[in-house]
Amino acid sequence: MDIALSTYHIKFFMVKSFKTFLKHTAKDFHNQSVNPPVVRASTIIFKSMKDIRKTQNKARKDPTGGHFDYGRQGTSTTHILSKILTKLEESYHVFLTPTGFGSIFLALFSILRPGDEIIVSDPTYKPTRRLTEDYLKDFNIKTIFYNPHDLKSLKNNITKNTKMIFVENPGSNTFDFQDLKKIISIAKSRKIFTAIDNTWATPYFFKPIKLGFDMSIVSATKYYSGHSDVMGGSLAVNKRAFKKVQLAERISGLRLGPDDAYLITRGLRTLDVRLDKHQENAKKVSAFLSKNKKVKLLYPYKKNSQNYRMWKKYYSGASGLMGLKIKSSNKNSVLKFVNSLKLFGYGYSWGGFESLAIHQGSLEIGKRKFLNLAKNEHLVRLHIGLEDPNDLIADLKQALRHLR
C-alpha cells in the first residue's frame, strides 16, 4: 500500500500552531471526508508482483513512509495517526501499539538483552515495575530502582551492563517531578538509552524527544482518546532508537488496529481544548484542596517546592491528574470520604472527560523502595474531568467532612 500523504492533507506548510494543525490535518479530500476513513486489511492487494516489489523497495528506502505489503504493518488509518503524533512529539517516528503498556513493553524489548541492566525510577507504574523487577529477571536482565529526588542513586548504580534508564514523570500515584536534563546528561555520557512515560502531560505540555530522550511513551487510552472508550499506545523515537524499535515491532507483532486508530485520531482533534480545560479545572480544585489541613496535595501548585520547580522547568502546563496524601488514623474515614463522592466515578485509568477517584492501596502502589508513607497516611488519586469545577469542589467539600 503506497499512501499519498497529500490526499490526507498531512503536509501543512502555512500553520505554526499545533492547535490549528490538529483541526485541519488528515482531511480526506478523495472521499470528501473531514476525518480519514477506517481502512481494515489483512491482505494488501496489488495489481502485479512488480507492484509488490516496487512497494517493498520504497519501504526499504523510506521505512517511515507508509509503504505496506501486509496488514500487520498497518493501513492508511494507522499511518496517518502515526504521522500526526510524530509532528506533535517532534520525533523521528511514532510506533503505535494496542495499549499504553504495549508501548512500554516494546521500548524495553527493543533494547534489553540477557546480561543487561535497566535503571528505573522508583515511583513507576505498577505493571512497569512487575515487568522490570519480576519478569525480566527470568531473562537474566537486572533491574535497579533509583530515588527520583536523589539522582546520585541513579548515577552510582550505573555499570558497564546498564543499557537503559526508564523514567516516569511525574511518578505514578505520588507525582514526583525529576530533574530530567540531569538524567539525560548522565545517560548520554555513558551512551545509555533513555525512555520516559509521558502520559500525564502528553507532548502537548512536554516534548521529551526534543529535550533529549531517545524514546517517549504515551498511553493513547488516556488524553489522546479523551472519551474512555478505546485502548492504545504510542512510542515516539529519535533516529538513534528507530531501527532497534522497528525490528522489535516487526518481531513482536505489536500493532494498533485501524478502528482504535480512527477513534484516537478523532479524539486528537480536541486534545488542546480538553487539556486546557482539565488544567483550568484542576487548578481551581487544587486551590480549594490546598486549604484543607488534613490533605497534602500532590500536584505542582506550591511555588517554593522542589516538585513545582522541576515541573515549571520542563512543562508548559499540567493535566487533570493529581494525588492526595491524607493523614488519618482512621482508614475507614478515608474510604468513606472517597465513597461519598457523587460526581467522581470509581475505576482505573483516567484521561477521559469524566472525573474519577480511587483509594491507592498496596494493590495500586506496588512495592516501593523510596516511598516514605507512614501508617496513618493514605493516598487517594483524583482525575479532574471537564465538569463545572464549582460542582466538583462542592462534591469534595461534602465528602471531606467524613475525614477523621
* The one-letter amino acid at 97: T
pLDDT of residue 15: 59
CATH of the domain at 16: 3.40.640.10
**How many CB atoms sit inside 10 A of residue 150's CB?**
11
Same domain, 255 and 184: yes
Same domain, 248 and 343: no
Same domain, 177 and 226: yes
Mean residue pLDDT across the chain: 93
What b/e readout covers 17-54, taking b as 16+ CB neighbours within 10 angstroms?
ebeebbbebbbbeeeeeebbbbbebeebeeeeeeeeee
pLDDT of residue 330: 93
| Residue 20 · residue 90 · CB < 8 Å | no
pLDDT of residue 6: 44
Same domain, 122 and 93: yes
Domain that holds residue 295: 271-400
Reported residue count of the chain is 404
| Residue 368 · residue 397 · CB < 8 Å | no
Same domain, 176 and 307: no
Q: Mind listing the pLDDT tens digit for each residue in 348-360?
A: 999 999 999 999 8
* pTM confidence score: 0.94
Checking if the pLDDT of 222 tops 60, the result is yes
Q: How far apart, in whole angstroms, are the C-alpha atoms of residue 397 and residue 392?
A: 9
CATH of the domain at 346: 3.90.1150.10
How many domains in the chain? 2
Q: Which of 268, 301, 333 is the last residue of a domain?
A: 268
Q: Which of 225, 243, 268 is the last residue of a domain?
A: 268
Checking if the pLDDT of 210 tops 70, the result is yes
Q: Which of 236, 268, 300 is the last residue of a domain?
A: 268
**Taking phi first (over 0 means left), then psi (-120 to 50 degrees means alpha), and beta for anything else, what does residue 66 get?**
left
CA torsion 57→63→65→67, rounded to 10°?
50
Region 242-269 average pLDDT? 96
Same domain, 215 and 311: no
Same domain, 258 and 190: yes
Same domain, 58 and 199: yes
Same domain, 275 and 211: no
pLDDT of residue 8: 53
Same domain, 10 and 83: yes
Region 40-61 average pLDDT? 96
pLDDT of residue 209: 98
pLDDT of residue 264: 98
Q: Please provide residue 351's backbone torsions phi and psi, each rounded to the nearest 5 degrees.
A: 95, -5
Interacting residues of 61 by C-beta distance below 8 A, sequence separation 6+ = none
pLDDT of residue 10: 53
Same domain, 200 and 59: yes
Checking if the pLDDT of 223 tops 50, the result is yes
Same domain, 16 and 139: yes
Q: Mind listing the pLDDT tens digit for each residue in 2-45?
A: 544 444 555 555 556 889 989 888 887 777 888 889 999 999 99
- Give the three cell numbers for residue 330: 482512621
**Taking phi first (over 0 means left), then psi (-120 to 50 degrees means alpha), and beta for anything else, what does residue 90 get?**
left
